[in-house]
Structure 1
Amino acid sequence: MNTLAAHPPAGQTQHILTPQSLAQLGLRFGIEYRIEGRSEGVAPVAQGRVHDVSLSTSLHLTLSDLQVERTYWSASRQTVPWFISVVLEGHINATVGNQCLAFAAGDGLCAHFTPQHSLTVYQPAQPRLRTVNLAVLATAPHDLPLAPKEALLHRWRLPEPLIAILRATIDQPPSACHQPLVWQGLALQLLGHGLPQSPLSPLEEHCANHRTETRLTPRDRGCLTRLHQRIADDPTQRYCLNDLARDVAMSPSSLRQKFRAYYGYSLFDHLRQSRLAQAYRDLERGYSVQQAAHACGYRHATNFATAFKRAFGIAPHEVFNRS
C-alpha cells in the first residue's frame, strides 16, 4: 500500500510524529495533545510532511501533509487574534467553547481563541490529511480587523480556483526561492476570504444557541472510545443502533447524544467516514472503484465517488491510478 512516507515528493523531508515528538511540539507552541488508545513514546501517531514557511513576523504559516495512523486531539492554550486552517484533503472537527463544526476537503476554518476557550481539533485516523494553517500573531501590520471579544469559530468554503492553487503550491519544494513570496500572497488571500463578515454566521449562531450540555462520566468516555475504535477497525460490518446501544448499556437516544457530544459528529457520520477511509486503503491496494464502492456499502459508484471526493478532496479513480 502506498503511503506518504513511502512515496514522498522529491526533495521534501518526511516526519514521523510520535507521542514524544508531539509533546515537544506542544511545549513549543502551547498545544496539548491527547492520543486515542495507549500512548507509547515511540509508536507513530502520524507520518508525512510538516514544515513552516517564513513570512512576516506577524504571520506563522505551517503546511501539513500527513497519514494519520492514530486518532488524536490538539488543544491550543494560547491567545491568537485570528487563526485560519484550510483542509485540502481529509477531514477534521474543531471546537471552540460551545461551538463545534466539521470540516472536509475544501472547507476553511477561522477561529479566535484564548486559554479559557481553547481551540480543540479532532484529527481522526485517515489515509491522508493535508492542511494549510495560518496564525495571525498581530493584526496591525496587515491592517486586519481586531479580534472579537468572545471566542469564535467560523466555517467558510474556499473558491475552487484558490483550492487548485493551494493544492499545486503545497507540493512545491519549500526550498524554492520564490516560495515565501508566493505563500505571502496566498496567506493574504486566505485572510481575505476567511475572516468572518459578522461575529457568527446563522448556522453557527444556531449551534451556539441550541447545543445542549451533555454530562459524560469516565465510564461513558471509555465505552464511547472503545465503540469509536471498533467501528474504525471494522467499518464494513452491518451495524444497528439498537445493538450498539445495548453493547454500551445506553439507550439509543442517549448513545446518539453522548457520541456527538464527545466527538463533535454523529455515530453514523463516523461510520460513513470510516467506510470511506477503508475504501481509500482498498483503492491503494488495487481495488477498482466499483469494488471499493461495494465493499464500503455503496450500490452506485457515482454516489460513492461524490461522497469520496467530498471527504478527501480527490476522486477515487485518482487514488486508484497512482497505486
Structure 2
Amino acid sequence: MNNATSRHPSRTFSVSEFMDFGERYGIDYRFPMLLQKPELPHASPVLQGEVEEMTLPCGMCVTHSDVQVLQPYETTSRHSSPLYMLVVLEGCVRLTLNGQDHVLRSGMAFSSRLSEHQTMRARHPADCKLRTLSLGLYPDGAWRTGMLESLIREWETCQTPTLIWQVPGFLLSGLQYAQKCAPGSVPRQLMLEGLILQLFGHGLSVCQAERGQRLAASGEQQRLEMIRRLLEQAPENDYTLNELAQRAAMSPSSLRGKFRAVYGCSVFDYLRDCRLERARGFLLEGYSVQQAAWMSGYQHATNFSTAFRRRYGFPPGDVLKLC
C-alpha cells in the first residue's frame, strides 16, 4: 500500500508548474491573464503557499492546499473518480457541474462522481486566501476491497450525483489538529485517514437523508431553503425556533428534523457557523474581537471566543497573524 507523502513548502507556483500538475492529475488550467497578455512568461506566479499531496493506506488520494491566489485561474477536470470530495477549510470556491453553479464557503464540502460525461469546473479569483482538502478515489486505486468499496456502493444507491453539505464542527477541529502534526508522520496519516473516513461517512448519511427528502413537496424544500438563506444573510439577528418554524409554515419539531435531514446539521449549528464566518470576515477587516462578536450576533465576547476557537482551532485574536 502506498502511503507516500509529497509536500511543497511555502513557495510560489508558476503557470508552468500548474501545467505539470494538470498532466499528472488530469486537469485543464485556464489563465485569463495569459489570454489578455499572451506575452506574459509561463514563469508568472499563480499561487503562493503550501501544497501537500499524499496517498493514504486506504487508497484515498489527498491534496491539502494552503495558498494565496496571486492571479485568477480556472480548472476543468478530465479524470474519472467514482467519488470525489472537496472540503473548503478557508475561503470560497465557485464550481460548475453539469451546467449548475455551486458556491462553497468555509466549512462546506462538495461530493460528486467525476467522469468524461460529468466534468467539474472551478474558478479562483485573485487576491484570496484558500485552504482546501481535495479527496479522490481513482479507478485503478487500491480501494477496491474493504470499507471504501462498500461506501461507493452505498453512495450509488442514493442516486445523488452532487451533494453540498456543512461539515460538522468536530470534524473541522480534528482536521485543524491533524495539520499540526509533522508532515508524513504515521500519527498524522492515521488521524487524517480516520477523519476522512468520517467525512465520507457523514456525507453518506446526509446523502441518504437527502434522498428521502426528495419525496417531500417542492414547496416544503423551498421553505427550508428560505430559512437557510435567512440565517446565512442575516446571522447577526436573534432567532427562535418557533419564529423560524412560523416563517417556514412548519411545526418546530418538523423544522428541526427536516433542516437537519437536508443540510446535515441543526438550525442553530448552521446559524452559529454563519455567525462565526461573518465574524472572521470582520476580524480580517481589522475590527476588534469585541466588535466582531457584537456585529455577528454574539452578546458576550467570551462565548464568541470559545465558539471561534472550537470552530477554527485558534483564538479570534490570532486571525490576522495567521493570514
Secondary structure, in 3 states, of the residue corresponding to 1:111? strand
Q: 2:163: which partner in 1?
A: 154
- The aligned residue for residue 6 of structure 1 is none
For the structure 1 residues 78 and 319, does the alpha-carbon distance in structure 2 shift closer, same or farther, using more than 3 Å as the test?
same
Equivalent position of 1:81 in the other structure: 82
SS of the residue 2:79 aligns to: coil
Partner of 2:62: 61
CA contact (8 A) 2:181 2:187 kept: no
- 8 Å contact kept, 1:84–1:194: no
Find 1:24's aligned residue among 20, 23, 27.
Answer: 20
SS at match of 1:191: helix
Q: How many residue pairs were aligned?
A: 232
Select the residue among 131, 144, 148 that pairs with 2:151. Answer: 144
Question: How do 1:1-323 residues align onto structure 2 when only pairs under 5 Å count?
Answer: 13-38=9-34, 40=40, 41-56=42-57, 58-137=59-138, 140-141=144-145, 142=147, 143-146=150-153, 148=156, 152-195=161-204, 196-197=207-208, 280=284, 283=286, 288-289=287-288, 301-302=295-296, 317-320=317-320
Contact 1:90/1:104, CA 8 A, preserved across alignment: yes
Residue ranges of structure 1 left out of the alignment (5+ in a row): 1-10, 211-272, 294-299
Distance across 2 between alignment mates of 1:168 and 1:76: 30
Q: Is the 8 A contact 1:78 1:113 kept in 2?
A: yes
Q: Are the aligned partners of 2:15 and 2:45 in contact in 1 as well (CA < 8 Å)? A: yes
Task: Tell me how far apart the structure 1 counterparts of residues 318 and 211 of structure 2 sit (CA, whole Å).
Answer: 37
Residues 89, 129 of structure 1: 8 Å contact kept: yes
Paired letter, 1:156: W
Residues 1:73 and 1:278: Cα distance change in structure 2 (over 3 Å) = farther
Gaps of 5+ in 2: 1-6, 223-276
Change (3 A) 1:78 1:49: same
Cα deviation per residue 1:79-109 (whole Å; 9 max; x = unaligned)? 1100011111111012210332111111011
Say which SS state the counterpart of residue 92 (structure 1) adopts.
Answer: strand
How far residue 12 of structure 1 moved from its aligned partner, in angstroms, is: 7.1
In the alignment, the residues of structure 2 paired with residue 302 and residue 87 of structure 1 have an alpha-carbon distance, to the nearest angstrom, of 21
Alpha-carbon contact 1:81-1:136 (below 8 Å) kept: yes
> Highest relative contact order (Cα 8 Å, sep 6+), 1 or 2?
1
Question: How far apart are the structure 2 equivalents of 1:37 and 1:66?
Answer: 19
- Structure 1 residue 277 displacement after superposition: 7.5
> Which stretch has the larger CA shift, 47-56 or 104-113?
47-56
Relative to structure 2, which stretch is displaced further, 66-75 or 119-128? 119-128
SS of residue paired to 2:191: helix
Taking a change above 3 Å as real, the CA distance of residues 320 and 187 of structure 1, as seen in their structure-2 partners, is: closer
Q: How far apart are the structure 2 equivalents of 1:105 and 1:131?
A: 9
TM-score normalised by structure 2 residue count: 0.60
Are residues 124 and 157 of structure 1, via their aligned partners in 2, closer, same or farther at CA, if it must alter by over 3 Å?
A: same
Q: TM-score, with normalisation over the residues of structure 1?
A: 0.60
- Please say if residues 61 and 135 of structure 1, whose CA atoms lie closer than 8 Å, have aligned partners that are also in contact: yes
Distance 1:18 1:88 in 2: 23
Change in CA separation of 1:194 and 1:125 when aligned onto 2, cut-off 3 Å: farther
CA RMSD of aligned residues (A): 3.9
